[in-house]
């Protein structure tokens, strides 16, 4: 059985290096969490019928 980290390909923290509002680094909008999900192909073909 794969470990829990096998489900993730990348984890990145960029808030301190890529602020949403670089001209105002102190505002709360720069302290954020962004989660991006990408779809992987399914294990079962879409056209498979039971």
Single pTM value for the model = 0.42
Domain ranges of the chain: 9-36
Distance CA 43, CA 45 (A): 7
Nearest to 14 by CA among 32, 39, 38: 32
pLDDT at 3: 56
**Per-residue pLDDT tens over the stretch 1-44:** 455 566 677 777 777 788 888 899 888 888 877 777 777 766 77
| Rg (alpha carbons) of the chain, rounded to whole number | 18
Cα-based torsion angle of the residue sequence 33, 10, 37, 28 in order, rounded to the nearest 10 degrees = 10
Regarding predicted confidence, which is higher, 49 or 3?
49
Give Cβ neighbours of residue 40 (< 8 Å, ≥ 6 apart). none
pLDDT at 5: 60
């Amino acid at each position: 059985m794969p470990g829990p980290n096998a489900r993730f390909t990348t984890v990145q923290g960029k808030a301190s290096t890529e602020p949403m509002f670089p001209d105002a680094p102190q505002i709360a909008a720069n302290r954020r969490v962004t989660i991006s999900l990408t779809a992987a192909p399914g294990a079962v073909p879409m056209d498979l019928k039971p």
